[in-house]
Amino acid sequence: MNNRDKIFPAVVLFLTVAGFFLPGMTACLSDMKTGQETVSVRDEEREIPLAGGESVFDILGAAGKLKESVTLRSGDAMDEKSAETESAEILGMLARYGLAEQPGQGQWLITPVLVSDIEGREASRVFWDCVWYLESRETDPYKIELYLDDESGYLMSFTVYPGRGHPGENPEATVESMKAFLNEYYPLSGETGFQYQETLSGNEFIFTVSEGGDSTYGFRFLIMENGQIVFNM
């Protein structure tokens, strides 16, 4: 048997073994690379609880408890473009109610994240962290951060950071504007509409809404002294 006859079976054996282990090696390398950038493939593909029979207010109520986040490479129902489009519409509504400034030549930073309950990782959802910011202000930076639910597309929480003519200058008008925004933005079929009450702290309000008379949901709304306003965070 010459050398060529000896080499050929060895090559065939090597390719067969390599082909058997290659998928596992590729997945391992993919996990290692992705883990350095965002989250591992296995984490990203784990089962995420869906709304099912839940209402928007069920998801909104749970959102206030979902704090920890891990950056994802993509969402499930939404993509970066649809998240930006929805965020721009919400920002326009906030501006119309005087809760934010009219959007100008700002920029969007859109990131899908996996958010989990701070008390455990049983409850998790995919949100889109959508940040609109204005770089042109060197001494008076301005930024708005919105969190959208990937499945429903609805706004889950937001923060408006201080800017010129910030809404916190008139708390009474601000909370009334917030009430009007909530009643227009969220679906209120069968619900009583949003109401609010002020807490003893003086800068915190609790918005409530009842669904079908069976469930009542409460959401925190803060108006800080520096003009920053925060909803459900």
What string of H, E and C letters represents the secondary structure of 128-167?
A: EEEEEEECCCCCCCEEEEEEEECCCCCEEEEEECCCCCCH
Q: Calculate the alpha carbon distances from 130 to 5, 144, 146, 155 in Å.
A: 63, 8, 5, 10
Digit-coded pLDDT (tens) for 24-46:
444 443 333 333 333 322 233 33
Q: Where are the domains of the chain?
A: 56-231
Cα–Cα distance measured from residue 87 to residue 145, given in angstroms and rounded to the nearest whole number? 9
Residues 6+ apart with CB under 8 A from 84: 108, 110, 130
Count of other CB atoms within 10 angstroms of residue 200: 5
pLDDT in tens, the chain (233 residues): 554 454 444 444 444 444 444 444 444 433 333 333 333 222 333 333 444 567 888 888 888 778 767 899 999 999 999 999 999 999 999 999 999 887 777 889 999 999 887 766 557 899 999 999 877 655 556 789 999 999 999 999 999 987 655 555 678 899 999 999 999 999 876 667 899 998 877 689 999 988 766 788 899 999 988 888 999 97
Q: Calculate the alpha carbon distances from 232 to 87, 155, 203 in Å.
A: 17, 10, 14
Alpha helices, DSSP H, located in the chain: 3-37, 41-44, 56-63, 80-96, 171-185
Count of other CB atoms within 10 angstroms of residue 22: 11
Cα–Cα distance measured from residue 125 to residue 70, given in angstroms and rounded to the nearest whole number? 11
Cα–Cα distance measured from residue 91 to residue 79, given in angstroms and rounded to the nearest whole number? 18
DSSP 38: S
Query: Taking the model in full, what pTM does it have?
Result: 0.73
Cα–Cα distance measured from residue 196 to residue 154, given in angstroms and rounded to the nearest whole number? 21
Quick one: tokens of 42?
């296995």
Q: Give the pLDDT of residue 4.
A: 46
Cα–Cα distance measured from residue 149 to residue 137, given in angstroms and rounded to the nearest whole number? 30
Which residue is it, tokens 């002294």? Answer: 225
Closest CA to 170 of 221, 219, 96, 227: 227
